[in-house]
Amino acid sequence: MLKKDDGVVLRAARSGETSKIVTFLGTRNGKIRLIAKGALGGNSAFRGALEPGSHLEIVFYHKENRTVFFLREAHVHSVLRTESLTLPALAAALAVLELLDQVCFPGSPEPAIVELLLEYLRCPIDNDPLFSFLVFQYHLLVVLGALPDWTVCATCSRILDEGYYIPAEGLAACRSHAGYSSRRVWMDQRLTRLAATINKATLSELRKIEVAADTRKDLGAVLHWTYTYHVNNYRLPEALKLIPKDKRTDD
Ligand SMILES: [Zn+2]
């Protein structure tokens, strides 16, 4: 039976002599793995389309009792224009695709995630690629329903301009109510205000704002621990290692 979907290539690898195996995130089918027979052949209709970051409309099918799908047609909406990106910007885009490959599951379509990814890919301006990755991570937590409430103390409900964040419990607390036994992260005013800004703005608006390196680093740590405790399968994406060390948050 033929099926159609619209979505983005997360990963593509060679399969055998002439074929490719593609991990695709579609609005209707969620994450699926597709075999594109003959994709590496010189006159294949898929040539150039099956790369990470390509936005495609596809037609595919599966044989009975199989979980692997076969790609039949691919119409290209857009591709990741690698030649016009700096290495850090490319690394950030690949890290976004890697993150989605980790946290999305087969058979669980999430159109809002595909929409967020397309918004990220559509915006070519990238003053600070690492910050743009963190902004994506933040908004993905919103879509996944896993964003902690950093604005109030979980015990006394006081509004927090600064306070402790306890990643394992996914909550924030004021000075008097943060338990000493938990692993906890101090969130200063700059960090809570940055989080509030990210919450209100779109991805493309956020790419224009400037963030101090240490605040960005603190934001990276808070997001990293939130994913570690609350999002299944998360690991720090390998592609982030391509970003020069002075711009990274994991050291
Ligand atoms: Zn409190």
Going from the Cα of 161 to the center of ligand 1, the distance in angstroms, rounded, reads 12
User: Is the separation of the CB atoms in 229 and 166 below 8 Å?
Assistant: no
Please list the pLDDT of the chain residue by residue as tens digits (251 residues).
Answer: 899 999 999 999 999 889 999 999 999 999 999 999 999 888 888 888 999 999 999 999 987 766 789 999 999 999 998 888 899 999 999 999 999 999 998 888 889 999 999 999 988 667 899 999 999 999 999 999 999 999 899 999 999 999 999 999 999 999 999 887 667 899 999 999 999 999 999 888 887 888 999 999 999 999 999 999 999 999 999 999 998 766 555 44
Residues with CB under 5 A from ligand 1 (ion): 153, 155-156, 174, 177
Residue 126 and residue 92 in contact, taking contact as beta carbons nearer than 8 Å: yes
For residue 54, the 8-state DSSP code is -
User: What would the CATH number be for the domain defined by 2-78?
Assistant: 2.40.50.140
72, containing H or E segment: strand 69-78
CA atoms within 13 A on the CB side of 126: 23
For the whole model, what pTM was predicted? 0.92
Give 163-221 pLDDT, tens digit per residue. 999 999 999 999 999 887 667 899 999 999 999 999 999 888 887 888 999 999 999 99
Cα–Cα distance measured from residue 11 to residue 16, given in angstroms and rounded to the nearest whole number: 16
Helical H segments across 29-155, by residue range: 87-103, 111-122, 129-144
Residue 44's pLDDT is 85
- CA 236 / ligand 1 centre spacing (Å): 31
What's the pLDDT tens digit per position in 131-141?
A: 999 999 999 99
82-247 fold: de novo design (two linked rop proteins) (1.20.1440)
How remote is the CA of residue 154 from the centroid of ligand 1, in Å?
Answer: 7
* C-alpha 147 to ligand 1 mean position (Å): 19
- pLDDT value at residue 209: 86
Q: How far is the CA of 200 from the centre of ligand 1 (A)?
A: 25
Distance between Cα 237 and ligand 1 center (Å): 35
Residue 172 CA, ligand 1 centroid: distance in Å: 9
Helix or strand or coil: residue 16?
A: coil
CA 222 to ligand 1 center in whole angstroms: 20
Q: Domain residue spans in the chain?
A: 2-78, 82-247
Kindly state the percentage of the chain with pLDDT values over 90: 72
